Amino acid sequence: MKVAVSVLSSYSFCPRSVYLSSVLGLEPDSVASLERGLFDHALRKTLIAKQMELLGAVDDAGGLVSALRDVVERSFGVVLEDYPSVRREDAEAVRSEVLADLGALGERVSYIAEDLGFDAALRRMSPWRVDYPVSSEKLSLCGRIDKVMKESFYYPVEIKTCSPPESVWEGDRIQVCAYALLLEEDVQAKKKIPYGFVEYTRVPEMRPVMNTDSLRKKVSETSEAVFKILEGVVPDICPHGSGRKCESCGYSKKCYEI
């Protein structure tokens, strides 16, 4: 049996939520809010995939932004059909945020192009793979990496549409490091992948995650803890001791009924 890397992130938020969702199969109360994030995530991945196709097809940042705006408008309704619980006003807000981010993308490409030229700048900013599947019998983990970047080595980038902390959420750090471990095995890396990134779209910022030995150990420990839950161990209520987590958890009502 393999555990999805996203479950490790959920465990970091609250172990009991893993039991409620993965063992009991319960749905969170705030389905609409959850689907908004999923819709945002899916629309952005569609955009990223198209960005890769535009290599060699556009000549400058203005052409890139214009082409990607067209992609957003054409893809919006199609992607939205997969998320029927998303309210129209929320979907429109997501579209506005994505379109606004394209301006920042154009500025970054233009800045890098001053030194490298436009094609090289776009190639540097475009991922090697999008929604890349990884799996390991050795690690008993599997998942899909939002973006795999390739420079002198490969590294993962995880897209998050939630409100960011001052640095990086602990669950996001574990998720990125777990993807790095899977990617090391997948590409048969000769050296450890030193870091990955979390892309918080609401800021928007790319924040680094250093894959230290202690974080790698944390991934292993979290994986072992999740397997115990899947084997039938029921975690205590509020083991994290954080009332704020309970307030934002979609399982807060169901949690005390078990």
The SS3 assignment for 99 reads: helix
Nearest 5°: the CA angle 184, 129, 58 is 145
The β-bridge relationship of strands 205-210 and 129-136 is unpaired
What's the number of domains the chain is made of?
A: 2
CA 23/CA 154 separation, integer angstroms: 34
Tell me whether residue 183 is exposed, middle or buried, using C-beta atoms within 10 angstroms of its C-beta: 0 to 12, 13 to 18, 19 or more.
buried
Judge if 111 and 136 occupy the same domain: no
Going by C-alpha positions, the residue among 165, 192, 185, 181 that lies closest to residue 222 is 181
Judge if 152 and 111 occupy the same domain: no
- The pTM of the full predicted model, rounded to 2 decimals, is 0.88
Judge if 38 and 112 occupy the same domain: yes
What are 192-205's pLDDT values in tens digits?
A: 999 999 998 877 78
What are 93-108's pLDDT values in tens digits?
A: 999 999 998 988 899 8
pLDDT of residue 246 exceeding 80: no
pLDDT for position 65:
93
Query: What value does the mean pLDDT take over residues 201-218?
Result: 91
What are 134-178's pLDDT values in tens digits?
A: 999 999 999 999 999 998 999 999 999 887 888 899 999 999 999
CA 225/CA 230 separation, integer angstroms: 9
pLDDT for position 32:
63
Range of the domain at 56: 31-125
